[in-house]
Amino acid sequence: MYKIAKENLSALFQLIADSQELYLPVKTAGQTNFAAWSKDAEVDLDTLKTVKSAKDAFFPQSEGLYTVKKEGKKMSVEPEALKEQDFVVFGMRACDVRGLAVLDNVFLADPIDTFYAARRDHGTVVALACHEPEETCFCKVFGVDAAEPLSDVAAWMVGEELYWKPLTEKGEALTASVKELLSDADEAAVDAEKDAIHHIVEKLPYMNLSLEGWDGDALSEKFDSPIWEELYKPCLACGTCTFVCPTCQCYDIKDYTAGNSISRYRCWDSCMYSDFTMMAHGNNRTSQMQRFRQRFMHKLVYYPANNDGMYSCVGCGRCVEKCPSALNIVKVVKAFQNQGGEK
């Protein structure tokens, strides 16, 4: 266990950025999101949740796949290079780190997504424990410990100090490279902080949500439930919930024509959109109820069925905060709890 004074953090960021790229929560025009560090960037480690999760660092909202170029009668295909440079993501939360595990199950399973795999190989994550969890958080429901972010390096902000604990080989390597700024510390302060966090977590309204009945076996019972017809009604069919989500992994592949070249890229897609999984024959989900149902069935039923019971929701609560119609996964689970038996 090491520590560094908060006032020295900018020196730490500078040192990391000297040798590799550094992404961390930066405030731009009033909102905090993960962005590349620079001297002028307004680093914001106090905001608990960035608007978008740190998913972008490993699975960007849009990324090029290859470009076809035409010169005279010649055509050439240039594949997009894989990530070759090491980078550090600083300030992810425990829930976002679990989000990466969810993405790993999808992108690192055969066939491996080489773009994602390269970013995972080169990325080191420094995760921050949640000093003051909020009422929208429900990570505990999914077995995530807000006080114990299990990534390459775990960090805690206690008073004027940041405590730093490498947990993996990558974490050790990063620690070695910045050792000059760190000093040794004992665990006492961190243990007290962990207790304090656990104490707060117990008081949060969503933390004791029960997921009983949500698993792969519940497929047809949940799918055919009449509750969806009621639940989806306020949904405006925007993609906010899917774009702020740390685990939504669906993407679309599109081509862009730029005169003498065509670039093929992929970008996040949202199951809330009418052209989601559009095929030659049309779309297999024709109503908003079906699209709405898809999102929650995927997170709580289909995904666990294929991944040994692991849910693809991590309880970060971003959708709770951002939905324009105040819908969210917690309301869905509660609706089934309240009415599931009766209907």
Q: Which residues bind other proteins (CB under 8 A)?
A: 28-31, 33, 48, 51-52, 61-62, 132-136, 200, 203-205, 233-234, 236-240, 242-244, 252, 254-259, 261, 263, 265, 267-270, 273-275, 278, 320, 322, 324-327, 330-331, 334
Q: How far is the CB of 226 from other proteins (least distance, A)?
A: 14
Q: What gap in Å lies between CA 15 and CA 269, rounded to an integer?
A: 36
Q: How far is the CB of 171 from other proteins (least distance, A)?
A: 29
Among 17, 121, 101, which Cα is nearest to 55's?
101
Q: How far is the CB of 191 from other proteins (least distance, A)?
A: 21
Q: How far is the CB of 236 from other proteins (least distance, A)?
A: 4
Peptide bond into 246 cis (omega under 30): no
Q: What angle do CA 159, 164, 168 make, to 5 degrees?
A: 155
CB-side neighbour CA atoms (13 Å) of 322: 18
CB-based contact 314:99 (threshold 8 Å): yes
Strand-pairing partners, residue 124, are: 88
Return the number of other C-beta atoms located less than 10 Å from residue 296's C-beta: 23
Nearer to other proteins, 247 or 270 (CB): 270
Q: Which residues lie below 8 Å from residue 222, measured CB to CB, with a gap of 6+?
A: 213, 214, 297, 300, 301, 336
Nearer to other proteins, 132 or 195 (CB): 132
CB-based contact 272:238 (threshold 8 Å): yes
Q: What gap in Å lies between CA 252 and CA 118, rounded to an integer?
A: 20
Nearer to other proteins, 61 or 306 (CB): 61
Nearer to other proteins, 85 or 257 (CB): 257
Q: How far is the CB of 109 from other proteins (least distance, A)?
A: 24
Q: Distance between terminal CA atoms of the chain? A: 54
Q: How far is the CB of 56 from other proteins (least distance, A)?
A: 10
Q: How far is the CB of 251 from other proteins (least distance, A)?
A: 9
Nearer to other proteins, 64 or 216 (CB): 64
Nearer to other proteins, 196 or 305 (CB): 196
Q: What gap in Å lies between CA 244 and CA 313, rounded to an integer?
A: 12
Q: What gap in Å lies between CA 201 and CA 137, rounded to an integer?
A: 9
Nearer to other proteins, 198 or 331 (CB): 331
